[in-house]
Amino acid sequence: MQEVLDFLQEAIDALKAMGLPPVKVSEGEAFRIAVQRRLDLLNEIDRFEDSKRKIVVAANLLKTQLDFFGGVSVESLPPTDYADFQWEDFQANAGLRLNLPIDRLRERNVYRTTFINFERQLRALGLALDNLRSGVRETVRDLELLEASYEIQKRSVDLADARVESAELLLQAGRVQVRDLLEAQNDQLRARNAFTVALIDYHVRRLEFLQDLGVLNINEEKFWLRAALPGLNDPVPPPSIPTGPEEVPVSPEQIIGLK
C-alpha cells in the first residue's frame, strides 16, 4: 500500500513540475488527426468503401452487354487423331450476343439490396464523423476551461502561502493568536488540494483527448509526462487511390430506366 502511495505522490510531483502542457492543435487539425488515426473510424471508412465497391459491381451486372463469340470444331470426336486429320471436315461459327437488362430480376434485387446497404453505411459513416467532430470540439473547450481553473487555483495557492507566511510573522510579533495561524494553514491545505485536483483533471482530460485522437501510446514509460502530442510525427499511410474512374452510385430505378 505504501508503495502505491509513494508512486502516486511521485507522479503528482512530476505533474506539478511539468505544469500544463498546452495542446497546440486546433479543432480542425484535431479532427483531421483523428480521422487518419482512429482505428474504429478507419474500419468504418473501410466498410463504406467496401459497400461503394459492391454497388459498382452490382450496377455493372445490369449494364447492356455485347459479346463477340466464335469457334472452330472438327467432325471427329475428341481426342482428335491428327494422323488421320481431315482439314475439310470442320465447322466454324461466329456472331454477336446482345444481353439486355430486361429480365434480370435477381440482379435488380441484388442491386437494390446493395444500394440499401450503401446508404446504411453512408449514414453510419456520417454519424461517426459528426460524433467525432462534436467530441473533439467539446474536449478542446473542456481543456480551455480546465486550464483557466488551474490558473485560478494556482493563484489561490500563492495567496494562501503568503497568508501563512504573514500569520507566522505576526504570531512571532504577538499580533495574532495561534488560532489565526491554524486557520491560515487550513486554508493553505484546501488551496493546495484544489490546485492538485485541477492539475489532475486537466491531465486526465488531456490523456482522454489523445486517446480520442488515436495518438496515445500507453506502452511508453511515463507516457502521461510527454509534453508534445505523441504520434503526430509518425508517417500517415496515404489514402487508397482507385485504380479506375470513380463511379457514382445510382438508384435501382435509374438502372432499369424508370427514371
* Exposed / middle / buried, residue 184 (Cβ in 10 Å: 0-12, 13-18, 19+): buried
229 in Cβ contact with 210 (< 8 Å): yes
- Specify the pLDDT at position 241: 37
Residue 26 makes CB contacts below 8 A (sequence gap 6+) with 140
> For residue 245, which of 41, 60, 32, 42 has the smallest C-alpha distance?
60
3-state secondary structure of 200: helix
Which of the two residues, 222 and 90, has the higher pLDDT score? 222
- CB contact set of 48 (below 8 Å; sequence gap of 6+): 121, 122, 124, 125
Cell numbers given for 52: 461503394
pLDDT at 85 over 60: no
pTM of the predicted model as reported, rounded to 2 decimal places: 0.67
Instruction: Tell me what pLDDT residue 226 has.
Output: 74
| 214-242 pLDDT tens trace | 888 888 777 777 765 655 545 444 444 34
DSSP state of 226: -
Lookup: cell for 9: 505522490
Helix (H, G, I), strand (E, B) or coil at 99: strand
Contact 59, 249 (CB under 8 A): yes
**Quick one: cell of 241?**
487511390
Mean pLDDT taken over the chain: 76
CA distance 107 to 62: 7
pLDDT in tens, 169-204: 999 999 989 999 999 999 999 999 999 999 999 999
Distance CA 188, CA 162 (A): 9
Distance CA 198, CA 126 (A): 35
Consecutive H or E run containing 191: helix 178-213
pLDDT of residue 227: 64
Confidence grade of residue 134 (pLDDT, cut at 50, 70, 90): very high
Please determine, for residue 205, whether its predicted confidence score (pLDDT) is greater than 80. Answer: yes
Please answer whether residues 189 and 183 qualify as being in contact, where contact means their C-beta atoms are separated by less than 8 angstroms.
Answer: no
